[in-house]
Amino acid sequence: MTDGPRILPLFGDFEPPAAEAAGQAPGPRAGLGATGDGPLKRLVDDNFLQYAAYVIRDRAIPDLDDGLKPVQRRILFSLHENDDGKFIKVANIVGYCMQFHPHGDASIGDALVTLANRQYLIERQGNFGNLVTGDPAAAPRYIECRLTELARTQIFNNDLTDFVPSYDGRKKEPVSLPAKIPLLLMLGAEGIAVGISTRILPHNFAELLGAEIAVLEKKPFTLLPDFPQGGLMDARAYDAGRGYVLVRARLEKKDEHTLTIREIPAGTTTDTLIASIEDASRKGKVKIRSIHDFTAENPEIEIHLPPDEDPDRAMEALYAFTQCQVQISSRIVVIREQKPVEMDVDEIVRHTTSRLVAILRKELQRRRRRLVEEMHRHTLVRIFVENRLYKGLEACASPGEAEQAVREALAPFRAEMQRDLTHDDVEALLGIPIRRISHFDVEKNRKEIEKLREELGGVETDLSGLVPYAIRYLRSLLRKYAADYPRRTEIAAFGTISERELTADALEIRYDRAKGYLGHKVQGEGMITCSPLDRLLLVWKDGRCRIVAPPDKLFVDTTLIHCAVVDRERVLTAVYEHDFFVYCKKFQVGRMSTNREARFAPKGAAVRFFSADDPAELYVRYTADERVKIRQQRFSLAKHPARGRDARGLVMTANAIEYIGPEKAPDWDDALTGPPGKFLDH
């Protein structure tokens, strides 16, 4: 991918298959209808690769070096090019940026607003939207922006920037900005490309610089995300950016029956948060009486609880079933050397630290060259004026003679110069005005040279100790800017929330036997109380069974005989009649799909007994018949094997049954009880 995919023209001349070139009729797999490796397939494959590589490298995935996506880099460069210290209309910046970014004004405007709302690099004026409420920004013609001081001083340096032609060749745009701060982890990023995505969580500015100092000092460090919305965060599963974090809203007890939300989790808004609470309330997962939104600049949502609701339990339920707690996953994919790579936070910090040292080295080297040049110029002027070398120019008849005279006059002073004399040096000396020569202050010149020499010595010292210099540089940034960017998300360790326990009795399932409806919104006989997270096992008299979520109102007909929370490992007992025989069966629900009907007894069967327990024995009374000599029997189930749900049960009897149950009938007569019953495998 480094060299890019091979690009084919959309409408071009393709090399014909060998059969066509020989004058033969093309085969069934040749030409545009080919299903093999024909020209159409090559065209589609190559153009798709071109598109995929473009989206990955130039649209969705940020660059490792400066931490920016192309649109962000172009926006910042446009602001830098137009920066005069005053606010600029966003519409003007969008228009200027379109010279570099060929994807429309809307994408540029949205990216600029998002970047500005991070508050690190772009200073805002006007309505840039609201992260808390989700309100959009005003139109670009109504809002203004400019670079922050942090951006002006820490991101740009044209002398250290490589430029390439823009998409139409009319302008030059930067390949990467020489940022001296870790923008990638400061800003965070999200992007989806072809077959790849990235999600980088934002981190705290001061903590990032502290981590870079730790890298330079070869000390351990830990970095955790910091979201502009604030909230509470459990980052035990973050795994240096390869895992996830749990983020909670900040809930406070206003009084015994009122909770207040002061901060919301990242990725949510007050509207989506309130909607999730209302949805959980409708489903019976959270008990609330009313909810009011007083949000202005900062979140303020009041939740009023019923008189009998415990506020601590309500807070746990809000965290468990609403957007008051969200899980945010992290997957760091960046572009490094024109290829997408997956990294972790520690690797990125080490890279940005080494890049910072490299940039500081280049800046010091350029500063050293500038100081040497200034010392050289000051020295030449001092020698030229102090020794009255200009007097030798009076006899020169041409510029060539004048240059030669200056070179010869300066030759004895070569040891005082910083480098060899050049044509430009001579031209500069020849261009000195007489007024300056007549007012030349030798002492002032010497002091300026001494000052430059001291400054040059400091630069040389910094170059020889780049690591200590980088540490001092980072600490100076911390002193200047750390107070402006405090941590907003509080780090905490959340306890385990049992969602099922919180809602164990949230729903009461009732059954209207007359109309055949079942649910927690049905008026009828109470069956069970359960959690909305539970699944219910329904059993009918004809041997059908089904697993369902707790319904609001579900028609189940009037032959329902069992409704309970399903336990797939529990042994169930059923006795049913089919084809003149009575069968007993012990089975487990097992891997039964939700909302799919199954059978534990064949079609045409009639269930005479069903139990979710595992009774030790069953008492059976047969219908009175002169042909039946035994009226009562006891069947032991202790050794009755449990079978699959679809298997046939064991035969109990062929006689008609009057009563069957785990207990003796009220009018049971032990004298009429026959020998213990036996099961037969029919």
Backbone angles phi, psi at 163, to 5 degrees: -115, 150
In this predicted structure, the answer to whether residue 555 has a pLDDT above a threshold of 90 is yes
CA distances from 500 to 90, 115, 358, 545 (A): 51, 41, 55, 24
Q: Which of 85, 109, 81 lies closest to 95, judged by CA? A: 109
The residue written with tokens 């084809």 in the block is 579
- Count, in order, helices (H) and strands (E) of the chain: 17, 33
Specify the pLDDT at position 223: 96
Write the class of the CATH domain 503-672.
Answer: mainly beta
507-512 and 525-530: which strand pairing?
antiparallel
**How many Cα atoms sit within 13 Å of 468 on the Cβ side?**
7
Say what the pTM is.
Answer: 0.75
User: Could you give the residue range(s) of every CATH 3.30.1360.40 domain in the chain?
Assistant: 244-329
User: Tens of pLDDT along 303-336?
Assistant: 999 998 889 989 999 998 999 999 999 999 999 9
Q: To the nearest whole percent, how much of the chain has pLDDT over 90?
A: 59
Handedness of CA 620, 642, 572, 551 (dihedral sign): negative
Tokens in use for 527?
A: 């069956």
d(CA 279, CA 132): 20
CATH 3.90.199.10 domain span(s) along the chain: 61-179
Q: Is residue 98 packed enough to be buried (19+ CB in 10 Å), middle (13-18) or exposed (0-12)?
A: middle
Per-residue pLDDT tens over the stretch 179-208: 999 999 999 999 887 778 899 999 999 999
Q: Which residues contact 210 (CB under 8 A, 6 or more apart)?
A: 221, 478
- The arithmetic mean of pLDDT across residues 565-579, rounded, is 91
Nearest to 298 by CA among 270, 327, 320: 270
Q: What is the β-pairing status of strands 232-234 and 490-491?
A: parallel
pLDDT grade, residue 443 (50/70/90)? Answer: confident
Tell me which architecture the domain covering 61-179 has in CATH. Alpha-Beta Complex (3.90)
Domain 244-329 has CATH 1.10.3720.10: no
For residues 371 and 456, is the Cβ–Cβ distance under 8 A? yes
- Residues facing 491 on adjacent strands: 233
**Closest to 233 (Cα-Cα) out of 497, 492, 495, 496:** 492
Pairing of strands 657-661, 617-622: antiparallel
Q: How far apart are CA 52 and CA 68, in angstroms?
A: 19
Q: Where in the chain is the domain with CATH 2.120.10.90?
A: 503-672
Residues with a known catalytic role: 142
* Greatest Cα-to-Cα distance within the chain, rounded to the nearest angstrom: 156
* Mean pLDDT on 609-617: 89
Q: How far apart are the first and last CA of the chain?
A: 69
